[in-house]
Every structure is written in C-alpha cells, then in structure tokens.
Amino acid sequence: MRNICLLGASGSIGKQTIDVLLKHRDDFKLLSFSVGHHTRCIFSLIKRFPEVKSIYLIDKKKAQRYQNKYPHINFFYGEEMLFLINNDVDMVVNALVGFVGLKPTLYALEQNKIVCLANKEALVVGGELVNQLLEKGQGILYPIDSEHSAIKKCLMVDNQDVDKIVLTASGGAFRDYNREQLKNVTKEDALKHPTWKMGQKITIDCATMINKAFEVIEAHYLFNYPYDKIGIKLHDESHVHSYVEYHNGLMRLDVSKPDMRNPIKLALYEYQIPFDTKVVESLDDLKGLHFHDFNPNRYPIVDLAKIVIEKKGGYGAVFNASNEVAVKAFLNDEIPFLAIEEIVKECMDKYQNENINNYEQLQQIDQKTRQIALELVKKWRKQL
Ligand code: MG
C-alpha cells in the first residue's frame, strides 16, 4: 500500500492518475492533492477518496470556505503547497505544469520520497540539482512522460552496448506545414494535436516542437546520455513511444496505443508490474505505421536543447521561462505563433551563463527571464 500525494489533480495527467488510482484502490491511498485554481473537482475527490487528509488550492478565501465545510481535512493555500508532502506520504505524483513543479520535486527528493514525474520542466530547469539529490539521498524518480517511460522499459531489459536512444515525435498540429505556412496559424489550429489529448500548454509546446527539445533534455538527465546519443524520429501515429538502438544492429521498441494511463500506472507501480500494454496482438497491428526523418531546419528550436545539455548552468531556466511567457502570450492572442520561438531564441542569446548551486538561483533566473520575455512580447504586440 502506497500513500500518495498528487500535485496537479485537476489537469490532464492529474485526472488520468485519478482514473488509475480508482482502479487500484487496494494498492494506493490518496492522502493529499493540489488543484490550483480549478477547485470544482474537490468535492468529488473527497467523496471518492475519503482517506484524503490535506488539500492545496491557490486562493485563500476559497480555502477558508472549504475548511469550514470539511473541518476534518487540512486546507492549504498560497505558498503552502509543500505541506502536502508530509511524513505520511511515500510517493509524490508531480503532474504540475511549468517551473512551479521544480520546488516540490526538489523538496520531495530531499524528504527521500518516491517521485513520479510528469512535470518535465523540473528536469529542464533543475536537472542538475535533481540528480545531485538522487545521488546523495534515498529519493527515487520515475518518469511519467510516454517517451521516457518507453526508453526506461527498453533499458530495463537491456542497457548494454546502447548506440542511441531515440524519442519519437508526432510533429504536433503543424507537422504537414512548411515554415512559410506557419506565419499565419491560429491558436485554435495549434490546439488540435493529431494523436494525444492533453492540456493547452503542452499542446502548444508540441506544435512548436519545444516539447521535444524539453524531452531530449529530460532524457539526458534521466538516462545520462550525451546530446548526440539522443535522437528524434517523426512518427505519425504515436504508437511507437520511443526506441533504443544497439551496437549490434538490434532495435528495441515500445509499442502501444497512445494512452497516458499506461506510463502513469507503470510509474505508480515503480516499473515492477508485468508490462500490460499488450496491444500488438499480431505483427499485422504494426502495419500502417509511418516514420519520417527529423529535419532540424523545420524545427530550429530543438537545437537549443544542445546548449542546455552541454552548457548547463541557468540555460534550462531561461529556455523554460521564456517559453512559458511566450506560450501564454500566444494563447492570449498577443503574439503570432512564430514569435514563440523568436522570443525563446532571443532570451537564450542574451543570457550569460552562471554556475547553479541551489533552487533560489534558478528562481532568480526564471523571474529575470520572464521580465525580458514580457518586454519582447510587448514589442511584438506593437507590430501587430
Ligand atoms: Mg512526451
């Protein structure tokens, strides 16, 4: 029996985690969860998980209202999210989106918890700090991202003589567009992901392909391969979740229909259950899968992952913060689609690297980058 803290319960991964927990009531207790601004699900979650002891939401007034209604539960708000990760919790599922997921990841590892990580930004920004904590403490990290889950499964079977790990990419909403056609695409177009149903931010990140850049960085920190040993292959159907190429010419693929509940379940069971994603009933099921070479000129933003991996320091924080600001501005119709990568590139160019020893430094870089990115958004707004 594992006692769970779920961060980001109201988001896409959070809801699918709830699905998995409900199916396996004997193995997990949901002791605490956070919901941010989307508080409507609190009532049903308390009803379905009567064991819940603490809940976090952002708004103080709402928290006080819920507190009056449910006196047996501790409600936290504002800066108090870390109180959810208390002594009773064994495992933290981090389904937060963006920089905000870094601090609870570091804190949970400091407390020697098991962390199931869907918040890839935590590794993009703080991969070095996360790995230092994993090395010196008893904390454990399991990936929930589908590509990394696939690579982990392959490497668990054989991690010897690996030539390359290759992340598959659907190519996002605009995979059939050339650069010229990207100039006038809209938010509505960008939110139509061809294979996965996900939250808004990650869907835009897929359309710009910065999501794949983030995942290359994530793979680097999870599996310790250098940039040139992490490949990308475009794959239309998202059935092959990623694969490993070995020196002897063998390839090991992880194949299943796209369903995030599979990687979530694997992480919750610490990759110890028999893998039950058997959807390849016969080799005929592999018919009609399409693969294409990745063209870096089509998606220039992906190259920036190399800088983050090789120069380290604060580059990950700059990469992430500039993107968060630009994506938000795009979703608010303030800037055109291609301005997202222009803003990210400009912030990366302006940054002077520094050594990072703690979270506070990353937080400062994050805040400073947000200011610079906001200025760039203003410039773009004037041009529109
Ligand atoms: Mg992914």
Place of tokens 């935590």: 122
Query: Ligand 1 centroid to 290 CA: how many Å?
Result: 18
CA distance 145 to 262: 10
Token output for 40: 């409507």
Beta bridge partners of 164: 245
CA 143 – CA 267 distance, rounded (Å): 7
pLDDT at residue 320 in the model = 98
CA dist., res. 57 & res. 172, Å (int): 32
**End-to-end Cα spacing for the chain:** 56
Consecutive 10-residue averages of pLDDT for the chain (384 residues): 97 96 96 94 97 97 97 97 96 97 98 98 98 98 97 96 97 89 90 79 93 98 98 94 97 90 95 68 80 93 97 98 97 95 98 97 98 97 80
Q: How far apart are CA 319 and CA 354, in angstroms?
A: 14
Tally of CA atoms within 13 A in the half-sphere of 103 that contains its CB: 13
240 Cα to the center of ligand 1, angstroms? 12
Q: Tell me how far the alpha carbon of residue 224 lies from the centroid of ligand 1, in angstroms.
A: 18
The answer to whether residues 118 and 11 touch, using CB atoms and an 8 Å cutoff, is no
**pTM for the predicted model, two decimal places:** 0.95
Q: Give me ligand 1 centre to Cα 255, in Å.
A: 14
Q: Checking DSSP bridges between strand 291-293 and strand 230-235, what pairing results, if any?
A: antiparallel
Query: If you measure from the C-alpha of residue 278 to the centroid of ligand 1, how many angstroms do you get, rounded to a whole number?
Result: 20
CA of 72 to the centre of ligand 1 (A): 38
Task: Give me ligand 1 centre to Cα 372, in Å.
Answer: 28
Question: Cα(382) to centroid of ligand 1, in Å?
Answer: 35
Short-list 122, 95, 119, CA closest to 106: 122
d(CA 256, CA 2): 27
Residue 36: the pLDDT is 86
Tokens of 69: 């209604």
Farthest-apart Cα atoms in the chain, separation: 64
- Residue 184 CA to ligand 1 center (angstroms) comes to 26
Distance 143 CA to ligand 1 centre (A): 10
DSSP letters spanning 72-85: TSEEE-TT-GGGGS
- The per-residue pLDDT for 381 is 87
The rounded Å distance from CA 315 to ligand 1 centre is: 21
Distance in Å, CA 217 to ligand 1 centroid: 12
Q: Are 333 and 379 in contact (CB under 8 A)?
A: no
211-243 residue pLDDT tens: 999 999 999 999 999 999 999 999 999 999 999
The CA 98 to ligand 1 mean position distance, Å, reads 14
Q: Given this model, what pLDDT does residue 384 score?
A: 73
The two three-digit tokens of residue 100, written as one number: 């905000």
Ligand 1 centroid to residue 358 C-alpha, Å? 27
pLDDT at 280 (0 to 100): 66
Q: Rounded to whole angstroms, how far apart are CA atoms 124 and 226?
A: 15
Distance from the alpha carbon of residue 168 to the mean position of ligand 1, in angstroms: 9
- Identify whether the C-beta of residue 382 lies closer than 8 Å to the C-beta of residue 356: no
